[in-house]
Amino acid sequence: MLTDRAVNSNHAAIPAMLAVGAVHHHLIRKGLRAKCDIVVETADARETHHFATLVGYGANAVNPYLVIETMVELQRTKKLDPATSIKDLFENYRKSINGGLLKIFSKMGISTLQSYHALRSLKP
């Protein structure tokens, strides 16, 4: 798993897209890419385009931890509708991202995530 959670004054962040692409190509060169998945845990992923770009550069899964932590904090501090559960917030976000990805893929004539994976056809 690639993560940017440990960023501090001693550990600089590497942009998620750069890290994913580098690991993806290293694994290909070593003949190991088909034997593992690349999971990226990043604060960089917030919008559908961010997810699409990360998948396009080789990520198999994306954990947008900052979005999740922000939703939890907004719910905890009552800045969101208290009638909406955190589970519903997560589900709505997931559906929104998945719907956006489907729209991007369909515009490109792609019908499955596997076909889009590591395609690198989106500009950052």
- Rg over CA atoms, the chain: 16
124 within domain boundaries? no
121 within domain boundaries? no
123 within domain boundaries? no
Quote the CA–CA distance of 49 and 72 in Å, as a whole number.
23
Quote the CA–CA distance of 5 and 94 in Å, as a whole number.
21
103 within domain boundaries? yes
Would you call 49 helix, strand, or coil by DSSP? Answer: helix
122 within domain boundaries? no
Quote the CA–CA distance of 51 and 40 in Å, as a whole number.
10
Tens digits of residue pLDDT in 11-47: 998 999 999 999 999 999 999 999 999 999 999 999 9
Quote the CA–CA distance of 98 and 115 in Å, as a whole number.
15
Q: What is the domain range of residue 54?
A: 2-116
97 within domain boundaries? yes
Residues 6 or more apart whose CB falls under 8 angstroms from that of 99 comprise none
Neighbours of 83 (CB within 10 A): 6
Q: Tokens for 82?
A: 């208290």
Model's pTM, two decimal places? Answer: 0.86
Tens digits of residue pLDDT in 61-104: 999 999 999 999 999 999 999 899 999 999 999 999 999 998 98
The count of structural domains within the chain is 1
